[in-house]
Amino acid sequence: MGQDLILPISACLPPPQNPPPAPAPPAPTPPPHPPSPAPAPQHHDPLIEESEDELLLQHGDHLPGLAEAQEHFGEPRTFHEAMQRPEEERDKWFKAASEEIQSLIDNGTFELVCLPPGS
């Protein structure tokens, strides 16, 4: 796909050679402030709150082709779905996923570990 970033998903990485940097000192605590006013009550429409899956299960027979249209035009729900898209779109999703994983690694909020035996 001609990408510069490589996802380190399929292999276990050895432990880092350098110790991780020392954590930054805690930020000063801001002075307390008065509580925010209570938000105005909102009216809930049960149809709006239904998930797409629930709507499709309940009303899918009245909406022929909706699921296929959502799958084709909507955002993919999984990495696998994203990789099934046309090349240009697939490359954009791959790049975004790679950048997100690299950011997690760079920020120390993600660690790649091996699956336990038998998993």
Give the pLDDT confidence score for residue 98 in this predicted structure: 94
Indicate whether 82 belongs to any domain.
yes
**pLDDT tens digits, one per residue of 66-111:** 666 666 668 888 999 999 999 999 999 999 999 998 999 899 998 7
Is residue 17 over pLDDT 60?
Answer: no
What single-letter amino acid sits at 36? Answer: S
Would you say the pTM of this structure is higher than 0.75? no
Report DSSP letters for 22-46, one per residue: PPPPPPPPPPP-PPPPPPPP----H
Count of domains observed in the chain = 1
What is the average pLDDT across 56-64? 68
For 87, the domain range is 78-107
Indicate whether 98 belongs to any domain.
yes
Indicate whether 90 belongs to any domain.
yes
What is the average pLDDT across 4-12? 49
Which of 64, 35, 67 minimizes the C-alpha distance to 53? 67
Q: Which two tokens stand for residue 54?
A: 């629930």
Indicate whether 93 belongs to any domain.
yes
For all residues of the chain together, what is the average pLDDT?
72
Residue with tokens 């009245």: 62
Indicate whether 59 belongs to any domain.
no
Indicate whether 112 belongs to any domain.
no
